[in-house]
Structure 1
Amino acid sequence: MPFDHDTMVAFSKSFGLFYLVALSIAVLVYAFWPSNRKRFENAARNPVSNEEDRPWN
């Protein structure tokens, strides 16, 4: 099988598509995983934590 330009372009487009689909699925699984619910709800309620909301000395 020769590795000419057209073959490499087709491979890279196919690999890129599958890579982005797999990455998107991984992000969705992480975002909707039940054990992450508390962390995300806390982040939604408290955009600035109490430790960060102090004046500089």
Structure 2
Amino acid sequence: MNESYTAVAGFAQTWGLIYFVVIFAIVVAYVLWPKNRKQFDDAAQIPFRED
């Protein structure tokens, strides 16, 4: 039983790290994509608006 837990834990740690790094890279690419700049610039100015 202990060997199977160790194997599953090792698998989850390795592939979980890869999964989260890939998701992080996708989010960063989305945020830095030139087409999305105006949307994020508008969102950054929301606290300064006096509507």
TM-score range for the pair, normalised by the shorter chain length: 0.7 to 0.9
Identity percentage of aligned residues: 35
Higher Rg of the two aligned structures: 1
- State the AA in 1 paired with 2:21: V
- State the AA in 2 paired with 1:13: Q
Greater than 6 Å deviation, 4+ residue runs: none
**Runs of at least 5 residues in structure 2 that lack an aligned partner in the other structure:** none
**Runs of at least 5 residues in structure 1 that lack an aligned partner in the other structure:** none
Q: CA RMSD in A?
A: 2.0
Deviation string 1:1-47 (CA, Å, 9 cap, x unpaired) is xx711110100000110011001101100110000001011111234
CA distance in 1, matches of 2:46, 2:15: 39
TM-score, scaled to structure 2? 0.78
| Structure with the larger RCO, 1 or 2 (CA within 8 Å, 6+ apart) | 2
Q: Secondary structure at the match of 1:38?
A: helix
**Structure richer in helix, relative to its length:** 2
